[in-house]
Amino acid sequence: MKVAQVREPGAAFEVVEREIPEPGAGQVRLKVEACGICHSDAFTKDGAFPGIDYPRVPGHEVTGRVDQVGSGVQSWSNGQRAAVGWHGGHCGQCDRCRAGDFITCRNAQISGISYDGGYAEYMIAPEEALVSMPQELDSVAAAPLLCAGITTYNALRHSGADAGDVVAVQGVGGLGHLGIQYARRMGYHTVALSNGTEKRDLALELGAHRYVDAKSEDVNAVLQELGGAKVILATAPSADAMTSVVDGLGVDGELIAVGATPEPIQVSPFQLIMARRTVSGWASGTPKQAEDTLAFSRLADIQARIETYPLDRVNEAYDRMINNEARFRVVLTM
């Protein structure tokens, strides 16, 4: 099989041939049909996540079919459509798993970080990491929903916002263009926030009721005129951008950070106390929640805007993503 691996942190991808691996006990082999390229793949590419063994194959937006099951696997069978997202397995024994909170498992595995991911023609994953895919969903179109989709969908549906509440989506990119669609389909008064007018038409086409240009308008004033945002879904990986919109939250409003960045958000206690505001974060979800995401996306016709590349062009595809040139998700095809 062919895989696109990183030999050492910071190195370019190299496409090499390997023996097709055999699944062990409790594992499933997936014949990969497509794999999305996510900004979080930079953790593997650049060695920014502790404990990665190299060479490593990234990829956590994987769709395909079960090709072989290991001993003890009873819930999956050959030929079954399946996917793997960010959540690559859990121990089932720690205090968090015992409480059913598998996504925060103390011994959690991450696809493409803890073990080789989906930039390959085949991959091995623990059976508890697999996601069942509807027959009607196209593998290429569905791939970004395994990370960008589940992250925005899960964050919004757990936010406490009610239908009709003002929900602002900051950033109209890989996460944001999906967040706008989910927010509109969930019945929120959807406001898209971005810099400049370039993405105005697209944001409105995706379902935003209002577009606010942060370069020429006072975002916080606009949101307050609408009654204050119940939720601001911060998808742009910029702490400064997140900091700038806190005052647009209404009473009991919540800023949910899903755009990953190491820089701190600057918020004063006064900003939080006077309107009972909160700042929180959300990361992906469990395989069952990924199945919910796929089902809702199909029901509500949520579609990622994608660019596709064959595995052999992985370096070009990754550069499109990391340089923010893609519109909006990049998917490798096998």
Q: What is the pLDDT of residues 191-204, one digit of tens each?
A: 999 999 999 999 99
CATH topology of domain 150-281: Rossmann fold (3.40.50)
Q: Give per-residue pLDDT as tens, 203-239.
A: 999 999 999 999 999 999 999 999 999 999 999 989 9
C-alpha 137/C-alpha 118 separation (Å) is: 18
Question: Sign of torsion, CA 250 231 183 198?
Answer: positive
DSSP β-bridge partners for residue 229: 249
pLDDT at position 222: 98
Domain extent listing, the chain: 2-147+285-333, 150-281
Domain boundaries 2-147+285-333, CATH class: alpha beta
pLDDT grade for 263, boundaries at 50, 70 and 90 = very high
pLDDT at position 285: 96
The share of the chain scoring above pLDDT 90, in percent, equals 97
pLDDT at position 216: 97
Q: Give per-residue pLDDT as tens, 3-53.
A: 999 999 999 999 999 999 999 999 999 999 999 999 999 999 999 999 999
C-alpha 192/C-alpha 172 separation (Å) is: 7
The residue-averaged pLDDT of 284-299 equals 97
Which stretches within 128-218 are classed as H helix? 139-142, 148-157, 176-185, 200-206
Q: Give per-residue pLDDT as tens, 74-111.
A: 999 999 999 999 999 999 999 999 999 999 999 999 99
Is residue 38 within 8 Å of 91, Cβ to Cβ? Answer: no
Q: Give per-residue pLDDT as tens, 304-317.
A: 999 999 999 999 99
Give the dihedral of Cα atoms 147, 153, 158, 160; nearest 10 deg.
150
- The model carries a pTM of 0.95
C-alpha 121/C-alpha 313 separation (Å) is: 14
Q: Give per-residue pLDDT as tens, 139-149.
A: 999 999 999 99
